[in-house]
Amino acid sequence: MGNYSNKYIAVMTKDSFFTELEELLELEEELESNAETLIEDVLEIDSLAHITIISFVKDELRVELKAEDFSNFETFGDLVLAIGEDKFN
């Protein structure tokens, strides 16, 4: 069981990840999310948003983020880099 996370193979593309973020965070439809999307433009990051994203990333991509990590993220692309490009198809 110790190597489970190393054996996990992601089936998510970056585009589907951004779409999932839009849905999870209930972003407005006119806003297109992508790697350049500024986090501060799309949501008022609060603890609930952190928990939502952290849980989603852990469940779907087997990567553990911490709420304090979000102070280092300016864009959704930064979030992808923190997760690891290898986790996406």
At residue 80, the pLDDT reads 94
pLDDT exceeds cutoff 60 at 8: no
Between 6 and 49, residue with greater pLDDT:
49
**What is the DSSP code (8-state) at residue 2?**
T
15-71 per-position pLDDT tens digit: 999 989 888 888 776 677 888 888 777 666 567 888 889 999 999 999 999 988 888
Per-residue H/E/C for 35-67: CCCEHHHHCCCCHHHHHHHHHHHHHHHCCCCCH
* pTM for this predicted structure: 0.77
Number of domains in the chain: 1
At residue 26, the pLDDT reads 81
Domain containing residue 60: CATH number: 1.10.1200.10
Q: Is residue 39 part of a domain?
A: yes
pLDDT exceeds cutoff 90 at 3: no
Q: Is residue 9 part of a domain?
A: no
Q: Give the structural domain span for 68.
A: 14-87
